[in-house]
């Protein structure tokens, strides 16, 4: 915009009765992180309001809208990096911290004889705009976190363009694989048996229109993904349509691989054929007899892979990976996990309300690829539970990629036997027990829930399976090893060692105790426990350090009789 257009725009903005969700006035105050949060809030609000732009203006007083002018010069401002070193120009710094950066323009100009700066902000268009990982929204004239308004967040996602529904103008019926079309017809009739006779009378174009794979004869991106010939995948560029199966050994070395292009409707089966679903013998001799079963439930693998296809963000130009290791499968797709967390999906009975590719997801349901919209993930957990295998692990640490790991082996026989004995446990409780067997941290509330039900014990955060349960499933000895013995036992060992061999070093004490402490503790935790025990004995006046802090040499304090240490709680 030229200066006259900017002046006319600011005239209109000042004529507004007050600040609104798409408009913010500032005078001269500037703080980088606050500015970034405002850009996020205004971009998201403009999306909700259906406005082509939002505006942030420096040099205009809030309330009166009087022209005050500003000395703020964004082009000259710099911001230090997170490590406190180095400077970045403010516009670059803002762009790096906004995700996605939908774009904004900065217009400094003279208005009524005074300098003003106008930020012209593009609206969010396919997802909320976040600043430093947090999305903001305007509530009237105030700025707040978008997470407080889940309905508004859903509206932003639902306003996005559906890439999978877009028509590829260059694609024709010849770009589709005839075998894939035939398979699609077969699956459609299986899903809708009442329409089977009618569907037999449809030609290919009518069938594609009926299933929404085509719109008025134009083939959609979803049609090319599911039914397209391999060579036709170039029509989807710059999007990438590829699944990669990779076989790795226990040293993370790549042993084999194969890439699969469309038609995904057929090639999912070819991916599954590469996975070595071995028969394993689980539950060695114990209270329950051994059983033989396959490493993976084929339905679980298929559902996980279909979810990757349905929820892939094809605009990010990534591929779907299926990594096979000796212990399990890791499937991943690019794009954020829209529900936010897995617990929300498992515990809610309603289908998901947000889909990255709504048409693709709908078509995959109609072609019998996805069981029901929103219910597949929960059913995956139920399937694994019914097989007494570890539950699927979702890794959402990368905001641009979703990973799910499916274990192909039992990690802890105690928990498997526990599930076989206690078939009444609900899925929520099983998910907590699954975290315990995987040595994952629990929240204090989760720890309390398991202890109340007498399924676990131990002092938070070190949770182990409860002794009562362990006895029921024939793992008493393992339970004692995990829980550990009373502090008195370890303290007596330390005192006996010092009495006979004083002075003793910390290495001497470590060699004595490390293999006797609870197995659930890692090496660092065991060393901290020893440090605690030595500190308690020193505080009680039983021992003292005659060496240095870095190289201690422990001796008994003279005049103190050697008596057993006091019993205490498990530390």
> pLDDT in tens for each of the 571 residues of the chain?
789 999 999 999 999 888 788 899 998 777 899 999 999 999 999 888 878 789 999 999 988 999 999 999 998 899 876 655 668 899 999 988 998 888 899 999 999 999 999 999 988 877 899 999 999 999 877 889 999 988 888 888 766 678 899 999 899 999 999 999 999 999 999 999 999 999 999 999 999 999 999 998 899 999 999 999 999 999 998 889 999 999 999 899 999 999 999 999 999 999 999 998 887 765 544 444 456 778 899 999 999 999 999 999 887 789 999 999 998 999 999 987 877 678 777 766 545 556 778 899 999 999 989 865 557 888 899 888 888 888 999 998 887 799 999 998 877 666 776 676 677 788 888 888 888 888 888 888 888 888 888 777 777 877 776 655 545 445 555 555 555 556 777 888 899 899 889 899 999 999 998 887 876 677 888 888 898 889 889 888 889 999 988 889 999 987 655 554 444 444 4
> Could you tell me the residue ranges of all domains in the chain?
3-159, 161-375, 413-483, 487-556
CB-based contact 181:232 (threshold 8 Å): no
Q: According to DSSP H, which parts of 277-410 are helical?
A: 298-311, 342-347, 358-366, 376-386
155 contacts: CB under 8 Å, gap ≥ 6: 48
- Residue written as token pair 């679903």: 277
Q: Which CATH fold would you assign to the domain 487-556? A: Arc Repressor Mutant, subunit A (1.10.10)
How far apart CA 358 and CA 162 sit, in angstroms, is 7
Q: What's the DSSP call for residue 503? A: S
User: What distances in angstroms separate CA 256 from CA 130, 243, 328, 330, 461, one per listed residue?
Assistant: 39, 14, 16, 15, 41
If residue 58 lies in a helix (H) or strand (E), which one and from where to where?
A: strand 54-58
Mapped onto helix, strand or coil, the DSSP state of residue 167 is: strand
Closest CA to 62 of 119, 12, 13, 123: 13
Report the C-alpha gap between 201 and 210 in whole angstroms: 12
Q: pTM of this prediction?
A: 0.60
Which of 288, 282, 281, 283 is CA-nearest to residue 473?
288
Please say whether the beta carbons of 320 and 243 come within 8 A. yes
Three-state SS at 532: helix
Strands 23-26 and 87-89: unpaired
- The pLDDT value recorded for residue 113 is 95
Centre a 10 Å sphere on the Cβ of residue 263 and count the other Cβ atoms it contains. 26
Per-residue confidence (pLDDT) for residue 451, from 0 to 100 = 82
In the CATH hierarchy, which fold is given to the domain comprising 3-159? 3.30.950
CA 350 to chain centre: 20
Residue owning tokens 């279909």:
306
Instruction: Give the ranges where 141-211 is alpha helix by DSSP (H).
Output: 150-158, 178-191, 196-200, 204-210
CA nearest neighbour of 156 among 121, 109, 204, 124: 124
CA 514-515-520 angle, 5° bins = 90
| Cα 228 from Cα 261, distance rounded (Å) | 9
CA dist 138 and 24 (Å) reads 10
Instruction: Give 64: exposed, middle or buried? Use CB within 10 Å, 0-12, 13-18, 19+.
Output: exposed
């Amino acid at each position: 915009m030229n200066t006259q257009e900017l002046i006319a725009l600011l005239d209109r903005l000042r004529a507004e009765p007050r600040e609104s969700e798409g408009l913010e006035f500032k005078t001269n105050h500037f703080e980088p992180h606050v500015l970034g949060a405002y850009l996020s809030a205004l971009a998201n609000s403009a999306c909700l309001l259906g406005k082509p732009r939002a505006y942030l203006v420096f040099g205009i007083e809030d309330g009166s809208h009087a022209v005050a002018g500003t000395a703020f010069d964004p082009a000259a401002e710099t911001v230090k990096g997170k490590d406190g070193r180095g400077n970045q120009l403010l516009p670059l710094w803002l762009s790096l911290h906004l995700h996605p950066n939908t774009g904004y323009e900065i217009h400094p100009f003279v208005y009524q004889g005074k300098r003003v700066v106008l930020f012209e902000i593009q609206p969010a268009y396919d997802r909320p705009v976040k600043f430093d990982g947090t999305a903001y929204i305007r509530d009237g004239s105030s700025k707040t976190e978008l997470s407080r308004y889940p309905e508004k967040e859903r509206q932003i996602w639902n306003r996005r363009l559906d890439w999978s529904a877009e028509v590829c103008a260059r694609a024709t019926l010849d770009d589709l694989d005839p075998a894939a079309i035939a398979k699609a017809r077969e699956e459609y009739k299986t899903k809708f048996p009442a329409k089977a006779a009618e569907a037999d009378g449809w030609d290919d174009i009518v069938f594609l229109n009926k299933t929404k794979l085509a719109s008025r004869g134009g083939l959609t991106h979803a049609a090319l993904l599911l039914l397209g010939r391999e060579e036709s995948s170039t029509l989807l560029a710059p999007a990438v349509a590829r699944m990669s199966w990779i076989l790795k050994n226990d040293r993370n070395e790549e042993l084999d691989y194969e890439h699969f292009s469309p038609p995904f409707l057929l090639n999912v089966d070819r991916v599954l054929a590469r996975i070595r679903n071995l028969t394993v013998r689980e539950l060695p001799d114990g209270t329950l007899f051994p059983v033989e079963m396959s490493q993976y439930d084929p339905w679980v693998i298929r559902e996980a892979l279909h979810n990757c296809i349905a929820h892939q963000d094809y605009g990010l130009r990534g591929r779907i990976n299926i990594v096979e290791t000796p212990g399990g499968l890791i499937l991943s797709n690019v794009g954020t996990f829209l529900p936010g967390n897995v617990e929300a999906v498992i515990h809610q009975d309603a289908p998901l309300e947000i889909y990255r590719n709504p048409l693709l997801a709908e078509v995959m349901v109609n072609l019998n690829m996805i069981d029901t919209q929103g219910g597949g993930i929960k059913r995956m957990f139920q399937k694994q539970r019914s097989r007494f295998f570890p539950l699927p692990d979702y890794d959402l640490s990368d905001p641009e990629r979703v990973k799910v790991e499916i274990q192909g082996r039992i990690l802890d026989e105690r928990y498997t036997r526990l599930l076989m004995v206690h078939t009444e446990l609900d899925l929520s409780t099983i998910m907590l027990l699954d975290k315990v067997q995987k040595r994952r941290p629990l929240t204090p509330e989760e720890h309390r829930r398991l202890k109340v039900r007498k399924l676990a014990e131990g002092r938070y955060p070190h949770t182990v399976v409860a002794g009562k349960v362990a006895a029921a499933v024939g793992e008493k000895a393992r339970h004692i090893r995990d829980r550990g013995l009373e502090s008195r036992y370890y303290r007596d060992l330390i005192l006996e060692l010092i009495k006979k061999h004083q002075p003793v070093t910390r290495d001497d004490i470590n060699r004595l105790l490390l293999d006797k402490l609870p197995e659930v503790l890692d090496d660092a935790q065991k060393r901290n426990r020893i440090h605690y025990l030595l500190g308690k004995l020193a505080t009680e006046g039983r021992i003292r350090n005659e060496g240095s802090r870095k190289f201690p040499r422990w001796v008994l304090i003279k005049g103190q009789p050697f008596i057993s240490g006091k019993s205490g709680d498990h530390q």
